[in-house]
Chain A
Amino acid sequence: MHFRFTDAAIDTASARRELLDRGAGGYVSFEGWVRDHNEGQDVTRLEYEAFQALAVKEGDRILTEALRRFPIKHALCIHRLGSLDLTDMAVWVGVSAAHRGEAFDACRFVIDEVKHRVPIWKKEHYRGGNSGWVNCERCAVAPRHPHEHGHDHGHDAA
């Protein structure tokens, strides 16, 4: 089960089926959507791009880490690329597990790590015609420590 990209709408029904397991008592998913505002600006659409050769490796490492850290059955993440409109789904994470607690925890872990480690970028287009690469244009990014897991990343956009 591999981290993957798609240029089309994410098929969540089909992705969910990949997680089915006779030993699983539950399934948790997270969907990241394109919303109409970010940091005080009115967003009209987003463009996603990725360094795919490295991103799929790093994405797989995150899924493998989730399976090692949490007693879960399966974990999967699909990220969309290209131009997305408001309300479109940008990312989907699904986790199945025997018990709901681990499924919630692992799902949260996967989306947090994906947002911070996988080389994916989004360009926001604003009402009025301006645009900007998120986390790059304002240059106020403090050095991060991607291997310090377990803390709550407070500046998630989704």
Chain B
Amino acid sequence: MNSVAPVYGLILAGGASTRMRTDKAALRYQGKTQLERAFDLAGRHVLEVFVSVRSSQITEPTRAAHPLIVDSVEGEGPIVGIRSALAAYPKAAWLVLACDLPFLSDAVLEQLLAERDPTALATAFRSAHDGLPEPLCAVWEPAAGAALAAYQRGGGHCPRKFLIGHAAPLLEPRDPRALDNINTPEEYAQAEDALSPIARTDPMQLTIQYFALMREQAGRSEETLETAAATPADLFSELTLRYGFTLSREQLKVAVNSEFSDWSRRLSSGDAVVFIPPVAGG
């Protein structure tokens, strides 16, 4: 391995959505389809994003607006979409995302890409529910193309079992809810409720001021940044990935616009945020 493959994004939207009884990709949260949300999220982290479709779906309006990778190999299920992408751009690695993960965040993708092992066939998260690999929020490396083809020739079809069989490195998601998927109308309703008070579709500008230990670890006393973080808690996760803060959220307080705030407050563009390490006046 002499170089690390560039990463493209692949949104899987070919599923039949039988339990949902409607097209999952077209489900909306805050006016934006699941497919658009996943596409925009991935687009903030990789060079280019494609939507994986079956040949029968290429004119379907939710999908047709995006660059497509049409299934080009035989078989059923997500393994076909992943293999088709690896075949279409054999030198690229693929950030593969199912479109039905409404709680995915920038922080989750930053963790995945930062901790990716390019010498493995793939890097995935370990599910908080069953401890098994989550193949549909993972980075698949170019070498996985041939290995997946061999696996399918041997009768395999499940990308999760493939990852287990090849001992793919597994990451612990910092936000265990991030990989919850939705399969039923009830789960959709719950997710929509959970997202509605904090959902945000566009990045906004925030000012962050740093003091004391936080200032030293961030290497700056102030910055203005674009973020999709909906709450101070999300923002702290995002910045901890960037700066490696040693204090945990439980040890800090947070202020928004020079007043103490809840971690779950909804942030607005232009807000000024300060993370307050343990104080020591006197």
Contacts and interface: CB of A to CB of B under 8 A. Distances in A.
A32 B212 contact: no
B281 A136 contact: no
Interface stretch (A66-74, A99-107, A118-126): A118-126
A contact face: mostly helix, strand, loop, or mixed:
mixed
Interface string B238-254: 00000000110011000
Interface of B: 209, 211-213, 246-247, 250-251, 255, 258-260, 274, 276-282
Nearest to A122: B280
Interface residues of A, number: 34
Given A51-B255, A57-B258, A139-B246, A114 B213 contact: no
Contact of A116 (B247, B274, B279): B279
A150 interface: no
Contacts of B247: 136, 139
A32 B282 contact: yes
A51 B209 contact: yes
B282 A114 contact: yes
Name which of B211, B250, B260, B280 has the most chain A CB atoms within 10 A of its CB: B280
B277 A122 contact: no
Contact of A123 (B212, B246, B260): B212
A54 B274 contact: yes
A141 interface: yes
Given A53-B258, A139-B251, A133 B212 contact: yes
A48 B279 CA distance: 11
A136 B276 CA distance: 11
Contact of A137 (B213, B258, B279): B213
A42 interface: no
A158 B258 CA distance: 27
Interface string A110-151: 010011111111110000000001111101010100000000
Contact of A115 (B274, B277, B282): B282
